[in-house]
C-alpha cells in the first residue's frame, strides 16, 4: 500500500485534504528504483489553481513519456497545513510518491504571475532548502523555473540555479541528458553542471553573471558573464510546429472541483494582434496553429479519457484561428451527441464570434465579455487595440438581438497618454451600451433589466512590450481615477443597469515593481516573506504592510521601479534576453503610441518585429 505523507488526523483537520493525497485518475506512478531523473514540478499556488494550468499538464505528460524521468506534482500548501508542517517538522512532499521534495533531482517552478514569488519561498522553506542558490548544498535539488515571468527573472534570480526562457517542449531533454552525464559516477559537481547547462539554448544560469549599478541614480550599468564561454545573450526557445508535439491525451482528473474544471484544447500559440500593453502578445510571437484533424482527435481522446463533460478552447485570441468554423462545427456535433458543453473564451467582438456563441450556449444565455480596454477611440489607438467604437457597439447590438442581456466590459486605468476624458469615457461607453439594449429590444421582449458589468484593472508596464519604458501610476493616482469613473457612472441615465468594480490598486503597483525590478529586489521578497507575505495573489491573504515594511527595511524604493519613466538608452534588467521581437521594434511602437499611430495586425501587414526568424521566416500561419 502506498505511503501517505500526512496521517489521518492531519487530513481530517485541514481544509480540502484532497489537495494533498494524490492518486487521481491518470496521475502517473513509476518505480523510482529505475529512474535516472526525478523532477518535482511545482505550481506555487493552491492545487485547484495549479491543476487548471495547461502548461503544467503538458510538461507532466511529456516528462513521464520518457522512461528515465519521473515527474511528480507539488503545490503550495494552504496556510493551515503549512502551519502544521512547521510545527511537526513535516517536509513538503510530491503528490505521486509522497516523497520529500528535497530527495528529488530537480525542483521546477512555473511562474505565471509576479504575486507568487513569496510562495516560491514558502515551498523552499517547507522543503528544507535555503532561499539563495549560493547557500544550497551540492546534492540539493537543482532549482529551475519557467513561465512568462522568466522574461524578467532578475528580481528572483538569486533563488534559482537555472531559469528556462521559452517553451518547455524544446530544451528539457538536453538538460536531463546533461544531468545524467554529470551525475555518472560517485561525484557530482553542481557548478560544473550549471556552467555546461548555460550552453543549452534557452537556459539562463544567474550565478554566472554579475551586475553593476550607477551609484548616483541606481540604474543598471552593466550585466556581464563571469566566464568567456557563458553567452552574453540568452535566446528564448520556441516550438516551431505545434502539430505532432506532445499533448496530454490523458489529463489528470482531480478529486475536487478546480478553477478550470474541464478539458482544455490548445488550438494555437502566439497572436497577430499588437496591443502595446500585452506582454503575452509579444513574447509568444509568431502565431502557430495546431492542425485541425489533430485537434479533433485530441478533443475526442481527452474527453473519453477523463469523463469530463466540458471542453474549452485555449489561445490568446481564438477568433484568429484560421480553421475555427470547422473546429466549432465538429465540436458542436460531438457535444450534442455526447451531452457535452463547449466553452469559447477569448473571442473578438464580431458577428462570427457571436454566431458561434449562439450555437454553443443553451437557451439561458450567460454573459458576453468584451474588452474595449479604453474608454475613448483616441486611447484605443494609443494602445493599438485594433477595435473601434463602431465595432464595440455593433458587437453589443448583435449580442442583444441574439438574446443576451448581460455584458461584461473590461477596461484599464492608468494607460500612457490617458486624460480625464478617457477615464470618463469608460462610464459613458458603458452607458451607451446599456442604452442600446433599451433602444433595440422592445419592452415586451426584454428579460428584465440589462446588466452591464464594468470592471477596471490598473495598467502594469511589462518587459518586452512597447510600454516597458512607461511610468506606472501610484496607488493614490489609480484610486483617484477609479473614483472618477465611479462618480461618472452615477451621473449616467442607466446607472442602475451598470455595476462597476475595480482591481486592488496596491497589488497592481507591487506587481509593477516586481515586473520591472532587478536583482536588488530579492532581499525585498525575502524580507516580505519573513514579514508574513504569502499567497499575495489572494485578496484575503495579501498583506500590503508586509511589503511596504520590507522595502523600508531594505532601504529600497518601490517608486524607483514604478514611478520612473525609463530613458531610451537605459540598460534594462531583461535586455540580455533575446525574444525575437527586437528592441528597435518595441521602441518604434512606443513612439507610435505617443503619436496615436495605429500599427496593422500581422495578417494585414508585416511590421518587421523580428519574430519571424524563430519560425523559419514565417510571420504567421493561416
Query: Is the pLDDT confidence value at 130 over 90?
Result: yes
Which element (helix H / strand E) includes 189? none
CATH topology of domain 241-357+572-622: Transcription Regulator spoIIAA (3.30.750)
C-alpha 372/C-alpha 349 separation (Å) is 9
In this structure, of 357-366, 411-420, 451-460, 473-482, the range with the lowest mean pLDDT score is 357-366
Query: Is the pLDDT confidence value at 487 over 90?
Result: yes
Query: Is the separation of the CB atoms in 580 and 614 below 8 Å?
Result: yes
pLDDT band at 447 (very low <50, low <70, confident <90, very high): confident
Query: Is the pLDDT confidence value at 354 over 80?
Result: no
C-alpha 27/C-alpha 41 separation (Å) is 13
- Does residue 447 or residue 582 have the better pLDDT? 582
DSSP assignment letter at 291: -
Query: Is the separation of the CB atoms in 433 and 452 below 8 Å?
Result: yes
Task: Considering the chain, tell me which residue range(s) the CATH 3.30.750.210 domain(s) occupy.
Answer: 241-357+572-622
DSSP assignment letter at 447: -
Grid cell listed for 59: 510538461
Query: Is the pLDDT confidence value at 613 over 50?
Result: yes
Phi and psi, residue 616, nearest 5° = 65, 30
Q: Find how far residue 60's CA is from the centre of its chain.
A: 18
Q: What is the mean pLDDT of residues 12-41?
A: 96
Q: Find how far residue 308's CA is from the centre of its chain.
A: 24
Q: Is 313 exposed, middle or buried (0-12, 13-18, 19+ CB in 10 A)?
A: buried
Query: What pLDDT score was predicted for residue 349?
Result: 64
Q: CATH homologous superfamily of domain 363-516?
A: Aldolase class I (3.20.20.70)
C-alpha 399/C-alpha 356 separation (Å) is 11
Helix (H, G, I), strand (E, B) or coil at 501: strand
Q: What is the mean pLDDT of residues 419-436?
A: 97
Q: What is the mean pLDDT of residues 218-235?
A: 96
Q: Which residue has the cell 495586425?
A: 601
Q: Is 350 exposed, middle or buried (0-12, 13-18, 19+ CB in 10 A)?
A: middle
- Does residue 196 or residue 365 have the better pLDDT? 196
Q: What is the mean pLDDT of residues 247-253?
A: 97
pLDDT band at 246 (very low <50, low <70, confident <90, very high): very high
C-alpha 240/C-alpha 288 separation (Å) is 7
Q: What is the mean pLDDT of residues 544-570?
A: 96
Query: What pLDDT score was predicted for residue 621?
Result: 47
In this structure, of 342-346, 565-569, 594-598, the range with the lowest mean pLDDT score is 342-346
Grid cell listed for 28: 502517473
Handedness of CA 373, 374, 376, 382 (dihedral sign): negative
Q: Which residue has the cell 497618454?
A: 417
User: What is the per-residue burial (b if ≥16 Cβ within 10 Å, else e) of 67-99?
Assistant: eebbbbbbbbbbeebbebbeeeebebbbbbbbb
Alpha carbon dihedral 438, 441, 446, 447, in 10-degree steps, equals -90
| Bond before 286 cis per omega within 30 degrees | yes
Query: What pLDDT score was predicted for residue 34?
Result: 85
What's the start-to-end Cα distance of the chain, in Å?
Answer: 52
C-beta atoms surrounding 171 within 10 Å: 19
pLDDT band at 364 (very low <50, low <70, confident <90, very high): very low
Q: What is the mean pLDDT of residues 165-177?
A: 98
C-beta atoms surrounding 385 within 10 Å: 23
pLDDT band at 363 (very low <50, low <70, confident <90, very high): very low
Q: What percentage of the chain carries pLDDT values higher than 90?
A: 84
Helix (H, G, I), strand (E, B) or coil at 6: coil
Query: What pLDDT score was predicted for residue 493?
Result: 84
C-alpha 237/C-alpha 580 separation (Å) is 10
Query: What pLDDT score was predicted for residue 494?
Result: 86
C-alpha 247/C-alpha 291 separation (Å) is 13
Handedness of CA 585, 588, 592, 597 (dihedral sign): negative
C-alpha 269/C-alpha 273 separation (Å) is 12
Beta bridge partners, 453, equal 408, 499
Q: What percentage of the chain carries pLDDT values higher than 70?
A: 95
Phi and psi, residue 529, nearest 5° = -65, -40
User: What is the per-residue burial (b if ≥16 Cβ within 10 Å, else e) of 209-218?
Assistant: bebeeeeeee
Query: What pLDDT score was predicted for residue 257?
Result: 94
SS3 letters across 553-591: HHCCCHHHHHCCCCCCCCCCCCCCEECCCCHHHHHHHHH
Question: What are 498-553's pLDDT values in tens digits?
Answer: 999 999 999 999 999 999 999 999 999 999 999 999 999 999 999 999 999 999 99
Query: What pLDDT score was predicted for residue 622?
Result: 43
Query: What pLDDT score was predicted for residue 403?
Result: 83
Query: Is the pLDDT confidence value at 210 over 60?
Result: yes
The CATH code belonging to domain 8-235 is 3.40.50.280
Beta bridge partners, 266, equal 314
- Closest C-alpha among 78, 86, 87, 17 to residue 45: 78
Q: Which residue has the cell 502595446?
A: 276
C-alpha 409/C-alpha 460 separation (Å) is 19
Q: What is the mean pLDDT of residues 487-496?
A: 91
pTM: 0.95
C-alpha 168/C-alpha 266 separation (Å) is 15
Phi and psi, residue 411, nearest 5° = -130, 165
Task: Considering the chain, tell me which residue range(s) the CATH 3.40.50.280 domain(s) occupy.
Answer: 8-235
Query: What pLDDT score was predicted for residue 32?
Result: 87
Which element (helix H / strand E) includes 143? strand 142-146
Query: Is the separation of the CB atoms in 543 and 434 below 8 Å?
Result: no
Query: Is the separation of the CB atoms in 73 and 95 below 8 Å?
Result: yes
Query: Is the pLDDT confidence value at 351 over 60?
Result: no
Handedness of CA 131, 136, 141, 143 (dihedral sign): positive
In this structure, of 67-71, 156-160, 217-221, 502-506, the range with the lowest mean pLDDT score is 217-221
C-alpha 405/C-alpha 377 separation (Å) is 25
Mean pLDDT for the chain overall: 93
Query: What pLDDT score was predicted for residue 319?
Result: 84
pLDDT band at 353 (very low <50, low <70, confident <90, very high): low
Query: Is the pLDDT confidence value at 584 over 50?
Result: yes
Q: Is 333 exposed, middle or buried (0-12, 13-18, 19+ CB in 10 A)?
A: exposed
Q: What is the mean pLDDT of residues 310-322?
A: 90
Task: Considering the chain, tell me which residue range(s) the CATH 3.20.20.70 domain(s) occupy.
Answer: 363-516
C-alpha 392/C-alpha 350 separation (Å) is 8
Amino acid at each position: 500500500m502506498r505511503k501517505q505523507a500526512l496521517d489521518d488526523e492531519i487530513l481530517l483537520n485541514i481544509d480540502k485534504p484532497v489537495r494533498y493525497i494524490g492518486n487521481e485518475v491518470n496521475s502517473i506512478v513509476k518505480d523510482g528504483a529505475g529512474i535516472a531523473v526525478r523532477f518535482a514540478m511545482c505550481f506555487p499556488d493552491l492545487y485547484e489553481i495549479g491543476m487548471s494550468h495547461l502548461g503544467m499538464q503538458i510538461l507532466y505528460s511529456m516528462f513521464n513519456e520518457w522512461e528515465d524521468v519521473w515527474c511528480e506534482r507539488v503545490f503550495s500548501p494552504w496556510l493551515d497545513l503549512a502551519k502544521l508542517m512547521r510545527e511537526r517538522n513535516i517536509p513538503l512532499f510530491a503528490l505521486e510518491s509522497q516523497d520529500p521534495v528535497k530527495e528529488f533531482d530537480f525542483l521546477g517552478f512555473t511562474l505565471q504571475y509576479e504575486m507568487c514569488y513569496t510562495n516560491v519561498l514558502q515551498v523552499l522553506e517547507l522543503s528544507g532548502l535555503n532561499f539563495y542558490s549560493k547557500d544550497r548544498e551540492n546534492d540539493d535539488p537543482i532549482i529551475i523555473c519557467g513561465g512568462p515571468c522568466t522574461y524578467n527573472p532578475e528580481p528572483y534570480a538569486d533563488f534559482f540555479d537555472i531559469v528556462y526562457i521559452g517553451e518547455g517542449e524544446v530544451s528539457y531533454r538536453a538538460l536531463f541528458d546533461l544531468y545524467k552525464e554529470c551525475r555518472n559516477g560517485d561525484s557530482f559537481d553542481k557548478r560544473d553542471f550549471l556552467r555546461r547547462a548555460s550552453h543549452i539554448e534557452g537556459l539562463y544560469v544567474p550565478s554566472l553573471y554579475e551586475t553593476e549599478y550607477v551609484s548616483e541614480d541606481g540604474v543598471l550599468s552593466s550585466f556581464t558573464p563571469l566566464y568567456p564561454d557563458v553567452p552574453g545573450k540568452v535566446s528564448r526557445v520556441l516550438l516551431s510546429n505545434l502539430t505532432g508535439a506532445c499533448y496530454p491525451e490523458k489529463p489528470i482528473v482531480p478529486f475536487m472541483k478546480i478553477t478550470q474544471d474541464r478539458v482544455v484544447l490548445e488550438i494555437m500559440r502566439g497572436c497577430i494582434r499588437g496591443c502595446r500593453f500585452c506582454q503575452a502578445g509579444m513574447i509568444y510571437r509568431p502565431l502557430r496553429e495546431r492542425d485541425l484533424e489533430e485537434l479533433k482527435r485530441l478533443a475526442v481522446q481527452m474527453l473519453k479519457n477523463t469523463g469530463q463533460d466540458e471542453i474549452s478552447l485555449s489561445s490568446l485570441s481564438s477568433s484568429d484561428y484560421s480553421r475555427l468554423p470547422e473546429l466549432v462545427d465538429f465540436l458542436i456535433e460531438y457535444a450534442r451527441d455526447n451531452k457535452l458543453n463547449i466553452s469559447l473564451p477569448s473571442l473578438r467582438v464580431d458577428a462570427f464570434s457571436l454566431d458561434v456563441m449562439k450555437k454553443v450556449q443553451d437557451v439561458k444565455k450567460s454573459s458576453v465579455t468584451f474588452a474595449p480596454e479604453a474608454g475613448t477611440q483616441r486611447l484605443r489607438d494609443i494602445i493599438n487595440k485594433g477595435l473601434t467604437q463602431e465595432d464595440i457597439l455593433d458587437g453589443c447590438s448583435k449580442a442583444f438581438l441574439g438574446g443576451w442581456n448581460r455584458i461584461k466590459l473590461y477596461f484599464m486605468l492608468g494607460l500612457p497618454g490617458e486624460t480625464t476624458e478617457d477615464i470618463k469615457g469608460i462610464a459613458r461607453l458603458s452607458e451607451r451600451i446599456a442604452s442600446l439594449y433599451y433602444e433595440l429590444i422592445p419592452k415586451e421582449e426584454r428579460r428584465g433589466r440589462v446588466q452591464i458589468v464594468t470592471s477596471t484593472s490598473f495598467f502594469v508596464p511589462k518587459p518586452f512590450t512597447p510600454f516597458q519604458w512607461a511610468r506606472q501610476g501610484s496607488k493614490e493616482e489609480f484610486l483617484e481615477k477609479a473614483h472618477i469613473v465611479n462618480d461618472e457612472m452615477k451621473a449616467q441615465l442607466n446607472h442602475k443597469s451598470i455595476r462597476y468594480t475595480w482591481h486592488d490598486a496596491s497589488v497592481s503597483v507591487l506587481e509593477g515593481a516586481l515586473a520591472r525590478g532587478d536583482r536588488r529586489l530579492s532581499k525585498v521578497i525575502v524580507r516580505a516573506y519573513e514579514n508574513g507575505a504569502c499567497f499575495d495573489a489572494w485578496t484575503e491573504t495579501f498583506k500590503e504592510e508586509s511589503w511596504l515594511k520590507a522595502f523600508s527595511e531594505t532601504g529600497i524604493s518601490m517608486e524607483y521601479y514604478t514611478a520612473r519613466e525609463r530613458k531610451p538608452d537605459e540598460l534594462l534588467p531583461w535586455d540580455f534576453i533575446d525574444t525575437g521581437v527586437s528592441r528597435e521594434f518595441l521602441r518604434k511602437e512606443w513612439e507610435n503610441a505617443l503619436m496615436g499611430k495605429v500599427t496593422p495586425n500581422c495578417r494585414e501587414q508585416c511590421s518587421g518585429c523580428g519574430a519571424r526568424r524563430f519560425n523559419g521566416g514565417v510571420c504567421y500561419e493561416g
